[in-house]
Amino acid sequence: MEKRNIQISLPVTGVEEWEAVKEPLMTGWLTSGPKVREFEELFAERHKVKHAIAVTSATTALHLALVAVGIQPGDEVIVPAFTWVSTANAVLYCGGTVVFADVDPKTFNLDVHDLERRITNRTKAIIPVHLFGLCADVDAIKRIAPGIPIIEDAACASGAGYKGKPAGSLGDIGCFSFHPRKSITTGEGGMITTNHEGLFELMSMLRNHGASISEEQRHHGPQPYILPDFNLMGFNYRMTDIQGAVGVVQLKKLDRFIDERNQWAAYYHEQLADIPWLRTPKCTPGDHHGWQSYVTFVNESTSPFPRNSIMEKLQERGISTRPGTHAVHMLKYYREKYGIKEDDFPGAKACNDFSMAIPLHNRMTKEDYQYVVNALKSI
């Protein structure tokens, strides 16, 4: 029997990225400089925002965003219970309190009714996550939480959209990831987007130790005696120009990658629709899904085997799968810190236990997709 080896995700990098990194390596300008600036400008244009600030990861993007909106000890920040752990960790970096809200297993995103119950007069920010590339219902969140800053965790949502607007332009600040499991990558890396001038200036300084001028201004300016002033305690979250050069090349491919992902997501929807125990991810035509991952849901009351056995069977056939992500409230650190029980967030727990990402990425062939479909049908 044929056995393929299909990864859950593989970045598309090659000769163009290789060529692009020559310039910073040859000129010796390696830290944030002209390539990062170019990447930021292109990213801001693509996501229809005034400003983009490149950083080292989505996690550090979230940290800067929360510092910038002023999160301090005693402040509450609402985070979906089903997300990558660092969405919550970033709140703790600021000394804030994480308040989990449940998710809707049909979308994997914030359940706005549950969110409404979690808002108090100490709520100082909400972080809707656009999980797996599907934007959260930001309009509904704004309706029930007017005036509360919205920080989009758009780690999975480069190029995704919502009601005709790009992810990263929907709230006050957007935070993106370029980890290799995302649609475009710089190895590690992240981007912050905003339309607010004040937040832009503040986060630009916070990224660079709190310095009042950038590295480029310092080294290329006419006054060699100038050292920056430091009016803030900042961080070193600068992206390198080597990553910036890769980012410029990757960003130019983003729309092609998303188009291809949409095409194969539609193929999965159609082909997998008649498997009664497998729910394909929600996608309606207006969603502008970014398809960072294709995450299904195993209905164990009708499936022939539990989810984990199905994942093992697929692995035996060379097909990688993963749980979508984890329920953060079920992780030991958070369970113990806040005394939370697994069942406190039933939607997140169900997603934790029954979600199953199947391979979808830009290095798969038609035969790979057919192979995955056939393997699932034969279970």
Closest approach, Cβ 177 to ligand PLP, in A, equals 3
Residues 312-341 interacting with ligand PLP (rule: CB under 6 A) = none
Distance separating alpha carbons of residues 51 and 31, to the nearest angstrom = 20
Closer to ligand PLP at the Cβ: 6 or 134? 134
Distance separating alpha carbons of residues 135 and 132, to the nearest angstrom = 9
Residues 42-81 interacting with ligand PLP (rule: CB under 6 A) = 57-59
Closer to ligand PLP at the Cβ: 112 or 275? 112
Distance separating alpha carbons of residues 362 and 356, to the nearest angstrom = 19
- 191: β partners: 54, 176
Closest approach, Cβ 167 to ligand PLP, in A, equals 12
Q: How many residues touch ligand PLP (CB under 6 A)? A: 15
Decide: is 277 part of the binding site for ligand PLP (CB under 6 A): no
Closest approach, Cβ 283 to ligand PLP, in A, equals 18
Closer to ligand PLP at the Cβ: 191 or 340? 191
The number of residues in the chain equals 379
- 100: β partners: 79
Distance separating alpha carbons of residues 62 and 67, to the nearest angstrom = 9
Helix axes 58-68, 197-207, angle to 10 degrees: 120
Closer to ligand PLP at the Cβ: 184 or 376? 184
Cβ pair 317, 296 in contact under 8 A: no
Binding test (CB under 6 A) with ligand PLP, winner from 96, 168, 190, 234: 190
Matching residue, tokens 């279970």: 379
Closer to ligand PLP at the Cβ: 83 or 158? 83
User: Of 314, 290, 287, 319, which is closest to residue 303 (Cα–Cα)?
Assistant: 314
Closest approach, Cβ 284 to ligand PLP, in A, equals 21
Closer to ligand PLP at the Cβ: 54 or 372? 54
DSSP state string for 201-241: HHHHHHHBTTBSS-HHHHHHSS-TT----B-S---B-BPPH
Binding test (CB under 6 A) with ligand PLP, winner from 9, 32, 87, 204: 87
Decide: is 129 part of the binding site for ligand PLP (CB under 6 A): yes
Closest approach, Cβ 316 to ligand PLP, in A, equals 27
Binding test (CB under 6 A) with ligand PLP, winner from 9, 32, 83, 214: 83
Closest approach, Cβ 83 to ligand PLP, in A, equals 5
Q: Helices (H) and strands (E) in the chain — how many of each?
A: 14, 14
Task: List the catalytic residue out of 182, 282, 366, 377.
Answer: 182
User: Of 58, 111, 67, which is closest to residue 86 (Cα–Cα)?
Assistant: 58
Active site residue 337: no
Cβ pair 132, 324 in contact under 8 A: yes
Amino acid at 115: L
Residues 145-184 interacting with ligand PLP (rule: CB under 6 A) = 153, 155-156, 177, 179
Binding test (CB under 6 A) with ligand PLP, winner from 9, 86, 107, 208: 86
- Name the segment binding ligand PLP (CB under 6 A); options: 82-90, 107-115, 139-147, 354-362: 82-90
Closest approach, Cβ 196 to ligand PLP, in A, equals 21
Matching residue, tokens 């989990």: 100
Matching residue, tokens 């022939």: 304
Closer to ligand PLP at the Cβ: 88 or 283? 88
Output the CA–CA distances (angstroms, integers) from residue 268 to 156, 161, 167, 274, in the order listed: 20, 21, 24, 11
Contacts with ligand PLP, residue ranges (CB under 6 A):
57-59, 83-84, 86-87, 129, 131, 153, 155-156, 177, 179, 190
* Active site amino acids: 182
